[in-house]
Structure 1
Amino acid sequence: MSDQKSPDNDKIEAAKRKAAYRAVEDHFRSDMQFVGIGSGSTIVYGVEAIKAHLKAHPPPERHMNWFVPTGWASRKVIEQAGLTPIAFDSVPSDAMLEVAFDGADEVDEELNCIKGGGACLFQEKLVACRSKKFVCIADYRKNQKRLLTNWPSIPIEVAPIAHASVLRELKMLGSPDPKLREHSLAKTGPIQTDQSFYIIDAPFKTLLSSLDVKNGADGSGKDGVWDVETLAKRIKEINGVLEVGLFYGLNGKEAQAVGLQGGQKPVAVYFGLENGEISVKRYEDVEK
């Protein structure tokens, strides 16, 4: 196979890079102490933008910037940029991450996200919920009215011993063909996360939003139709499930306003567009 990128891929990568630089410009400061760094291709550009920002705006004297990765791959991106990683469980217990930058597989009108295509969803959710705000960076393909429009399935992190029973329960919830995610070479077996768990990819019908439910739609699972929050909670209840790749509910700012630590949803999503422009969706603009 050729390593050359097609013109379309070049446009997509340029869009991701431009969105990342704008997101960092809007939400990163050199005096921040703890910053979350997610997984995926867009975050490579986010780290590049942070490095450029620190070079142009050096941190205060004796100040240390620590970057909290969501997995092994993002730790390597941090290290290769010459930045300093710190493990999530090494962050002081009384400290919050001031911001977390991460990508998404799909984002709906309410800024609900599907994440976990890179098999890091548990740690991604840990970092998002420990952050004052989660800022998402994506390209235009990820921007959809409802989840499970283009992205085909929900990633679910499960204990290896329980994967067969989880598959069975997902079918009972209406997932037509949930599958254990395996390496491309079948003989190497299932893909394992940083927690040595498995990933199940579960397709469902396009998910309803909370506004759909507010307007009278039934998202309870009847005829396999679910709303985001109801399905996420129902899957999480299955024995053997560690985490569900649906990021929903409150964002960090909303959570702190009611006395909670942080939230799963982004406060803003920066979409790089094919024409070189940037589209920004902010939670303040979401119809309630």
Structure 2
Amino acid sequence: MAPQKSPDNDRIEAAKRKAAYRAVEEHFDSSMRFVGIGSGSTIVYGVEAIKDHLEKNPPPPNHMNWFVPTGWNSRKVIEEAGLLPIAFDSLPRETMIEVCFDGADEVDEELNCIKGGGACLFQEKLVACRSKKFVCIADYRKQQKRLLTNWPSIPIEVAPIAHASVLRELKLLGSPDAKLREHSVAKSGPIQTDQSFYIIDAPFKTLLSPLDVKNGSDGSGKDGQWDVEALAARIKMISGVLEVGLFHGMNGYEAQAAGLQGGQKPVAVYFGMEDGEISVSRAEEIKK
């Protein structure tokens, strides 16, 4: 007998799908040449929405739509949809990705994100920072006032040789229970990323936002209390760390206005809500 799907799971998947279709409707165009595709369960619906859009709105004659995956999993999703993948390092040097669609593990009120639950954070950050805009698709569980409210830890990608040293330094920063992420079958050993690196999951106290700091809160790590930007910078300084699963700082619009390429933060997050509605948080509407 086939296992029964739970009503909650059906509701979550329906929320993801509606959010994905709305995000693609508002940010994708058939004339785009390069589009980033992130990893995880939510982005499957983003690719489905893009495929439907292209079938209804074919690209101009002799135009090719190329899709930049953030890892092996997203490449498979692109290929299975009949779309054309292109590796990040095959992009023409001066070319920007026009939009990147990706999910998140948690998003705060200022659109800072935790990403990396699927172990693709380094490539996800590469693609986001090469994109004119990063558009995030998520369900209602991911929407929180502050990061590390429901999501338990920060994913950190580390060189295998350095993982023990990184764990030691994370303890000094206030994460005594940081752990190397391993396969469910113990003998399979640590999970490895597409770069053959390891992932460490590091719990911390709920993170302060940049606005909290602007309003006078101390996020410097005193008594283990950090703000998003200070903690991300401090972890990145540890020898052996490739990338930190905190997406913060500027979004694509802000980066380009400053003469830079792209930003880590989304310009908008589309949350599929439990009641079937879509809640959209846009960067330009957020109090600074």
**1:271-286 residue pairs with structure 2 within 5 A?**
271-286=271-286
Deviations 1:165-197 (A, max 9, x none): 000000000012000000000000000000000
How far did residue 2 of structure 1 move?
A: 6.1
Equivalent in the alignment of 1:112: 112
Match of 1:170, SS state, is: helix
How far did residue 156 of structure 1 move?
A: 0.1
How far did residue 4 of structure 1 move?
A: 3.0
The one-letter amino acid of 1:200's match is I
Equivalent in the alignment of 1:237: 237
The one-letter amino acid of 2:248's match is Y
Residues of 1 paired with 2:113 and 2:125: CA distance?
11
Deviations 1:211-260 (A, max 9, x none): 10011100000000000000000000000000000000000000000100
Equivalent in the alignment of 1:10: 10
- Percent of counterpart pairs with the same letter? 84
| 1:246 equivalent in alignment to 2:238 | no
Unaligned runs of 5+ in 1: none
**1:133-148 residue pairs with structure 2 within 5 A?**
133-148=133-148
| 1:185 equivalent in alignment to 2:185 | yes
Residues of 2 paired with 1:242 and 1:16: CA distance?
30
Residues of 2 paired with 1:145 and 1:162: CA distance?
33
Indicate the RMSD between aligned Cα atoms, in angstroms: 0.8
Equivalent in the alignment of 1:217: 217
The one-letter amino acid of 1:241's match is V
| 1:175 equivalent in alignment to 2:175 | yes
| 1:196 equivalent in alignment to 2:213 | no
Match of 1:156, SS state, is: strand
How far did residue 3 of structure 1 move?
A: 4.1
Residues of 2 paired with 1:10 and 1:87: CA distance?
33
Unaligned runs of 5+ in 2: none
Deviations 1:116-170 (A, max 9, x none): 0000000000000000000000000000000000000000000000000000000
The one-letter amino acid of 2:229's match is E
Match of 2:53, SS state, is: helix
Residues of 1 paired with 2:78 and 2:62: CA distance?
20
Match of 1:150, SS state, is: coil
Q: Give the paired residue count.
A: 288
